[in-house]
Amino acid sequence: MLRWGEALNHRYPNITLQFQAGGSASAPTALIAGTTRFGPMSRPITESERQQFIDRYGYPPHELSVARDALLLVVHRHNPLASLSRQQADAIFSTSLYCGDSEPLRRWEELLPEQQWPYGKIALHGRNLASGTHGLFQERALCNGQFRRDISEHPGSSAVIAAVGESPNAMGYAGYNHLNPMVRALPLINAEGTAIIPSVATIQDNTYPLSRDLYLYVNLPPGEALPLAEQAFIELIFSDEGQRIVQAAGFVPLPQAQRTPPLLDD
């Protein structure tokens, strides 16, 4: 959002974008309160949030998919674990086991019985409750189960990556754009039993199992058009320049077929 704002200001020096980052859960609150027209989120808006918006304004917010991303399961860069299934991820991070495993996985010996290292308890790291990544990981990787209480929660994905990179016995989940050489992203086994490596191609075509869209929600009354400044911002996002900014920020650009700016005037 900040880089898009800088590019918009370069195109139109009289337009500036004010951005406040507080996690995806803060976007619906700001939209409902009327303090912003745009709410960026890394997860879809919930039915409860959508209904609160409708109760306030009488119409739903517009949902725009503006980029692609993925949730990664990361381990220390020297960790020998080859891949992970969603059932195993659920058994590691949850207490519910809703994805199908019969027993929880708590120690490295249960995942890597033939290895001399790593060993002992799996130290877990993840995002805090305000994060859209937290909610989406719970839905997609834990089959809406409950997180273990001993997971170390962090306010940002970069902190998760740093914690896992510093601890050989750690595992965590984070957004794709924060991946760095301190950690290694685990391939995930899909429903057909194939281990899929997270990459620009597999995230863009949605074959990586934890691929996701990144969203921008817009408060726009039916029958009205966006003001010119806001329309210029939307056009920038969907332009080639805007999608190059997506890639430069470490995310995944939209497929070419999805780069047509929507007409927000219905």
What are the pLDDT digits (tens) for 136-187?
999 999 999 999 999 999 999 999 999 999 999 999 999 999 999 999 999 9
- Per-chain mean pLDDT for the chain: 94
Question: What are the beta bridge partners of residue 173?
Answer: 73
* Measured distance CA(78)–CA(250) in Å, rounded: 23
Q: What is the structure's pLDDT at 210?
A: 96
- Work out how many domains the chain is built from and give that number: 2
| Structure tokens given for 156 | 């940002």
From residue 259, alpha-carbon distances to 119, 232, 235, 239 in Å are 47, 15, 10, 7
Q: For residue 81, tell me if it sits in a domain.
A: yes
Nearest Cα to Cα of residue 184 among 195, 197, 193, 194 = 197
**What are the tens digits of pLDDT across the range 200-237?**
999 999 999 999 999 999 999 999 999 999 999 999 99
Q: What is the structure's pLDDT at 197?
A: 97
Q: Are residues 45 and 26 in the same domain?
A: yes
Q: Are residues 142 and 232 in the same domain?
A: no
**What are the tens digits of pLDDT across the range 116-146?**
899 899 999 999 998 889 999 999 999 999 9
Q: Are residues 42 and 91 in the same domain?
A: no
Contacts of 6 (CB under 8 A, 6+ apart): none
% of residues, the chain, pLDDT over 70: 99
| Domain extent for 181 | 70-211
Q: Are residues 143 and 166 in the same domain?
A: yes
CATH code for the domain in which residue 58 is found: 3.40.190.10
Q: Are residues 160 and 207 in the same domain?
A: yes
Whether 265 shows a pLDDT value over 70: the answer reads no
Other residues' Cβ atoms within 10 Å of the Cβ of residue 111? 19
* Measured distance CA(163)–CA(182) in Å, rounded: 10
Residue 53 banded pLDDT, cuts 50, 70, 90? very high
Nearest Cα to Cα of residue 63 among 219, 205, 175 = 219
